Amino acid sequence: MKACRVAVVGAGLAGLYAARALHASGIDVMVLEARDRLGGRILTTDELGRPAEDGFDLGPSWYWPQMQPAMETLISELGLPSFAQNSEGDVIFERMSREKPQRYRPTLQEQQSLRLSGGTGSAVHALAKEIPADRILLDSTVTAMALSDGGVNLTVKRSQKSADLRAERVVAALPPRLLEANVTFSPGQDVQTAVRWRDTATWMAPHAKFFAVYDEPFWLTAGLSGTAQSMVGPLVEIHDATSASGKAALFGFLGIGADQRVTLGEEVLKQACLAQLSRLFGADALKPRAVLLKDWAADPLTATAADRVGGGHPLPGSAQWVSGAWKDRLILAGSETSPSESGYLAGAVIAAGRAVADILSIMECK
């Protein structure tokens, strides 16, 4: 049986942040990731949907440095360049299908949202570089955890085979709802704990994002910012998604529920989104070089059946995410468990930082 001092389940922003900090502190750590890639809900791709180091963020893309100092500090530590989300130009509002969309001059934003040059995936890659490659295992799904003398035995499925890993402590850097649905615990979690995990909404899980990639940002020439809001749909919120390297794109959040998206089908949705962009931004919108549609509700490593409705940011709660027999062996560090900015990128950093502090405190006392 392989062994480590701390096993980190999940190689998203929270998991990699925690693993990097623990490794830097001299703690033997192993990262287990069910996907065949790093990042979790962070997914930066090229126009064909392939993971890329300079592309479009199909998952989270913004952070607000003044409101989210934890994220700003991390970006500074990693030395990653950023740029402001474009807000120059008019905003479009579409109120009713029988009315022509209206243009408005936007009000000055007090808090400017920033994006990372190359995409949010650049933070993932920068963190991973500071963790030994042999301590990160992809295609490794944790299916069970069992308490034993002095630690936790994890059952890990890899290439249709199961193996065991023993750790003194486990950092679960994934949404509580996903943890409750997919991992069997022995002994089982307290009822109240399991209910809390199950009732905590997973941010982004119900959502879908649509991208249209163009040769030129034609909306800027027309004096438009690329920002639009619509009560008609299918996209309810649209923004300029042009990369720092100049790859022109628009993206929007779909306002259609997960079940209805399945019924309509991907091609119908894509054509409906392009038709809407044409209404809002003109005929040039009908001539993309590529389109992308990422439905997070269809991703089993992000969403459960309970995530197909809703979609608001989870509400911060008490820090007591684990109780009973597991209290001293399991620490939750997904963004949803953060005491502030839960669901956001900053929430992942805060939650992971808290988990690392707890582990270091415990291990220093031994």
Per-residue pLDDT of the chain (366 residues; tens, 9 = 90+): 689 999 999 999 999 999 999 999 999 999 999 999 999 999 999 999 999 989 999 999 999 999 999 999 999 999 999 999 999 999 999 999 999 999 999 876 667 899 999 999 999 999 999 999 999 999 999 999 999 998 999 999 998 889 999 999 999 999 999 999 999 999 999 999 999 999 999 999 999 999 999 999 999 999 999 999 999 999 999 999 999 999 999 999 999 999 999 999 999 999 999 999 999 999 999 999 999 999 999 999 999 999 887 656 676 666 789 999 999 999 999 999 999 999 999 999 999 999 999 999 988 755
pTM of the model: 0.95
Q: Which residues pair with 254 in a beta bridge?
A: 235
Token code pair at residue 244: 């720092």
Query: pLDDT at position 76, please?
Result: 97
Query: pLDDT at position 159, please?
Result: 84
Query: pLDDT at position 106, please?
Result: 84
User: Cα–Cα distance between 162 and 197 in angstroms, integer?
Assistant: 26
* CATH of the domain spanning 2-42+123-203+314-364, picked from 3.40.1190.20, 3.20.20.140, 3.50.50.60, 3.40.50.1100: 3.50.50.60
| Span(s) in the chain for CATH 3.90.660.10 | 78-119+206-298
Token code pair at residue 87: 């807000």
User: Cα–Cα distance between 49 and 43 in angstroms, integer?
Assistant: 9
Query: pLDDT at position 286, please?
Result: 98
CATH class of 78-119+206-298: alpha beta
The answer to whether residues 261 and 297 touch, using CB atoms and an 8 Å cutoff, is: yes
Query: pLDDT at position 128, please?
Result: 98
The answer to whether residues 16 and 125 touch, using CB atoms and an 8 Å cutoff, is: no
Query: pLDDT at position 308, please?
Result: 84
| Span(s) in the chain for CATH 3.50.50.60 | 2-42+123-203+314-364
Which CB contacts under 8 angstroms, 24+ apart, belong to 325-330?
Answer: 325/147, 325/187, 326/147, 326/185, 326/187, 326/189, 326/193, 328/169, 328/362, 329/147, 329/151, 329/152, 329/168, 329/169, 329/170, 330/145, 330/152, 330/169, 330/170, 330/172
User: Cα–Cα distance between 246 and 242 in angstroms, integer?
Assistant: 6
